[in-house]
Amino acid sequence: MKKIILLLILLCLLIYQYWFLPVPLGGNDYYSYLSSRLNEISFFPYAWTNIGGNGLGDNNIKFLWVDRYFETVISVFVNYLRIDWIIVQRIFWLFPYFVLSLLSPYFFLKTILSNNHFHKANFLGVLIFSFNTYILMLLSGGQINLALSYALSVAVLALYIRLINSSVNHQSFAVGLGIGVLSSLQILFDLRIFMITFVAAVLYLFIKFINKPALYNFHFLLFSLIVTLLLQSYWLFPLLVAGNSSIGSLNYTNPNWLSFLSFADFSQTISLLHPNWPENIFGKIYFMRFEFIFIPLLSYAALLNVKKDKINIIYLAILGLLGAFLAKGVNAPFGEAYSWLFSHVFLFSFFRDPTKFYILTIFSYSVLIPISLVNIISLLKSKYLPLKKYAGRFVIMSFIIYWLVLLFPLILGPKKGLFSRQNIPQEYLSLEKFLNSDREFSRVLWMPKQVRYSYSTNNHPSVRADELFNKTDLDEITQDLNKQEMIEKLQKLGVRYIVVPYDFNAEIFLTERAYDEKLRAKIVETLNDNKNLVKYRSFDNKLDIFLVLSPKKHFYIKNQNSAEIIAVQKSPVDYEISILSAVYPAILIFNEKFDRNWILETENKNTVQSLDENGMNAFSIVGNSKNKVKVHYSSQRYVNIGYGISIIFITLCLLVLTVLIAVKFRKSRT
């Protein structure tokens, strides 16, 4: 057993070697903010973000759960305590995943298998859960929050199973409360993985009920869910109350996404082979690898000798098949079922990317494979007496070697993404310094889109050209910039800078999946020839900046170029405006995406609701030559109430859990 533990640790060190060094890491979806952006992160949640909505501002209520953990940690430990960001990453993201990915599956195996006499097989379950192609590709892409939710998922599911099987007493209340707190933490990392975990728990309850009808602590299961929802009040309350912040506004319900994002086929999902393994290039799908076909054969072989934990094993087998079926998305067989679920089942539209359901199959195989190995060992000991002494060692080592062979492309190949070191290119540090020196609000248009270290702050939000122009062809985007109406649009949007990025990761300017410098050079040449733009500067001929002349300010008076306005941002949802000279009545333009919840308040407390002015906010005001007004986002009050509920309830939960643990500890000592 000690040798297996050492093997797991060695495998971690081989794959995660850069996690233990104070160096910046890669990974496209990994947190890679420059210091200027980190300094803006607030501890308090806000209902509006002006860097969202493609840099034009957007309602943030529907995404509050996404970055709450990140924002809380950054605001306290980076901005307040001044701990280095590289150290904070490891303390609050990388090392917690490292520990949870090893402990959680072991706890799950000990929970679901009551009589697993061959304990070494439990550590093989840990190996399967922590080192499979799905989670390794997830980490390679830098999706550390999702990985943390994944690592917590089996611990949460194990607690649900214990709660369902326990007798009704005060301990059930404590476990239910603990599940609610832990599930809330899981949601902070990723809501979708919690949803999958809860569905797995409900399926377990259903199978237990079918086998032997009983309550099975159903009310405590419901209690744990209520605790979880109450702890998430900071975003659930405003989401339910604010009229324009409905779940439908997430724009996840377009079924056209399904065909595009259904990468895996059934042979891959049932074999636990990620479709992007091992290079993890988005959209590059690999063929089925024959060596992976032994994984489902070995898993479902556990059904051939079901003597103990029969219900649990049947449950896991169903869970594995369900995960494999859903993870393939709309691909055959019966892909229409996923389309129907996506269109008709509440919240199922969150799963545009079907590969999230690999997690159910991983739950299953992490237990079924160890069971099969135990059965094989028992068979060898009973049938082949010469192997009796060495059967266990032979079977376990054979499986470990097989699993390592599956992972060889990652272990021995070049390290990429979050498994690699990636320094910030000097060009982006220079751009950050340059834009920080410009204190006046303006937007930055990226041609055609941002890269990993693109500069984006509240004062200089980033705008993707491909999304703004609703085009993907580089020639069409650059041709649009030659049109006078497009330049006028950029001026109205407050775009001052156009940046052609340094594509150091070779992700944008590609020809047949290979970096093509000619594509970038062509954009620069076209912009140089554009008479409406001014070439401002270039950083080492890798990152080029162009100027749009006379962009509109964040706040301005419509059709009054001489009007002088001083705007002070108190927070993303509050502005104080001083209008020093204007002709009244006047229209004050707030240069962010229109939302009727923006309210202007005059000095005498009169309020004016925002009107739509070509997609931006406009306020009709009257007054003297000098006028002070306030502009605030009214939906923030719902966030404040919800946040208060969350803070009060988490405090109560922690106090109650502390008391219950103390009482139990005292009784045990007595």
pLDDT in tens, 15-61: 898 999 999 898 878 877 888 888 899 899 999 999 989 999 999 99
- Pick among 1.20.1460, 3.30.1490, 2.60.40, 1.10.10: CATH of 555-634: 2.60.40
Residue-wise burial string across 278-314, b where 16 or more C-beta atoms lie within 10 A, e elsewhere: bebeeeeeeeebeebeebbebbbbbeeeeeebeebbe
Rg (C-alpha) for the chain, rounded Å, is 28
Strands 598-601 and 627-633: antiparallel
- For 158-183, write each residue's pLDDT tens digit: 999 988 887 666 678 888 899 999 99
Asked whether the predicted pLDDT for residue 206 surpasses 80, the reply is: yes
Within 8 A by CB and 6+ apart from 575, the residues are 555, 567, 568, 569, 590, 630, 631, 632
Asked whether the predicted pLDDT for residue 609 surpasses 50, the reply is: yes
Biggest CA-to-CA distance, the chain: 101
| Helix (H/G/I), strand (E/B), else coil: 212 | coil
pLDDT at 36: 86
pLDDT at 305: 80
Within 8 A by CB and 6+ apart from 547, the residues are 496, 497, 498, 533, 534, 535, 536
pLDDT at 472: 83
For the whole prediction, is pTM greater than 0.95? no
Contact 588, 579 (CB under 8 A): yes
Read off the tokens for 93: 């993201």
Q: How would residue 118 be classed by pLDDT, with cut points 50, 70 and 90?
A: low
Contact 489, 465 (CB under 8 A): no
Q: Interior CA angle at 542 toward 541 and 547, to 5°?
A: 75
Asked whether the predicted pLDDT for residue 251 surpasses 60, the reply is: no
* C-alpha to C-alpha distance for 328 and 261, rounded to whole angstroms: 10
Average pLDDT, the chain: 88
What are the DSSP E strand ranges found in 129-257? none
Least confident of 89-93, 150-154, 389-393, 483-487: 389-393
Contact 618, 558 (CB under 8 A): yes
Q: What percent of the chain has pLDDT over 90?
A: 53
pLDDT at 247: 42
pLDDT at 117: 54
- For 579, counting Cβ atoms within 10 Å of its Cβ (0-12 exposed, 13-18 middle, 19+ buried), the class is buried
- For 344-357, write each residue's pLDDT tens digit: 888 898 898 899 99
| Helix (H/G/I), strand (E/B), else coil: 541 | coil
pLDDT at 278: 85
| Helix (H/G/I), strand (E/B), else coil: 645 | helix
pLDDT at 168: 60
Q: How would residue 537 be classed by pLDDT, with cut points 50, 70 and 90?
A: confident
Q: How would residue 646 be classed by pLDDT, with cut points 50, 70 and 90?
A: very high
Distances (CA, A) of 238 to 391, 551, 640: 60, 35, 9
What are the sequence ranges of the domains in the chain? 21-415, 442-548, 555-634
Q: What percent of the chain has pLDDT over 70?
A: 93
Q: Interior CA angle at 555 toward 39 and 442, to 5°?
A: 50
Asked whether the predicted pLDDT for residue 248 surpasses 50, the reply is: no
Contact 582, 560 (CB under 8 A): yes
Distances (CA, A) of 579 to 161, 567, 569, 599, 623: 62, 9, 15, 17, 10
